[in-house]
């Protein structure tokens, strides 16, 4: 009540991680934690100058506003049932940004995904820059590498029962 009297009511926004030519990479909704008057925060948002904490809805995670491309107030962006959004007098496709990408400081790519209700887009980290820096002429160590637990009981060939530790145990019990 006191915050409302002082004009410091929370500002609820959509969190846009990245803006592509026709795609908005949308994280979801958030609330801005601010000490200024609501009108001042809305003016900063309109100019793209808000630089404060962004409290993500539903989980309590807090991020710095610099990680996001835009933070439009809830009433300025409208989502449709077909995975589209209306914002800034334009229609956009929406790519859902998973939580693991909210703090990622790099470009995202939108990939198609199919689910029970239809199809849509989901964002993921763009690692093409890393791949392009790999030197194809770097020699690889000889042999093969097997990533497994030290105490793993399975053989490399699951159909080879002669060399597995369990087969040896079983043979030992019967003799």
pLDDT reading at 31 higher than 70: yes
pTM over 0.75: no
Dihedral sign, Cα of residue 60, residue 63, residue 69, residue 70:
positive
Mean residue pLDDT across the chain: 82
Domain coordinates of the chain in residue numbers? 2-130
Dihedral sign, Cα of residue 166, residue 170, residue 173, residue 175:
negative
pLDDT greater at residue 174 or residue 84: 84
Contact yes or no for 55/64 (Cβ under 8 A): no
What digits encode the pLDDT tens for the residues 131-156?
A: 777 777 777 777 777 777 766 665 55
Task: Spell 135-156 as b/e; 16+ CB within 10 A means b.
Answer: eeeeeeeeeeeeeeeeeeeeee
**Secondary structure (DSSP) of 33-57:** --SS-HHHHHHHHHHT---SEEEET
Average pLDDT over residues 7-23: 89
What digits encode the pLDDT tens for the residues 45-94?
A: 889 888 889 999 988 899 999 999 999 999 999 999 888 999 999 999 99
């Amino acid at each position: 009540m006191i915050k409302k009297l002082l004009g410091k009511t929370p500002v609820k926004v959509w969190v846009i991680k990245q803006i592509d030519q026709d795609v908005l990479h949308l994280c979801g909704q958030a609330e801005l934690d601010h000490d200024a008057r609501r009108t001042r925060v809305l003016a900063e948002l309109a100019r793209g100058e808000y630089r404060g904490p962004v409290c993500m809805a539903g989980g309590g995670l807090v991020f710095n506003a610099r990680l996001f491309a835009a933070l439009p107030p809830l009433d300025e962006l409208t989502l449709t049932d077909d995975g589209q959004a209306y914002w800034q007098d334009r229609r956009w496709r929406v790519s859902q940004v998973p939580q693991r990408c909210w703090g990622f400081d790099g470009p995202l790519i939108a990939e198609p995904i199919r689910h029970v209700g239809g199809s849509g887009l989901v964002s993921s980290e763009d690692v093409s820059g890393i791949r392009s820096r790999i030197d194809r002429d770097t020699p690889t160590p000889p042999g093969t590498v097997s990533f497994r637990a030290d105490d793993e009981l399975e053989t490399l060939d699951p159909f080879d029962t002669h060399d597995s530790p369990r087969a040896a145990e079983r043979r030992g019990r019967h003799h």
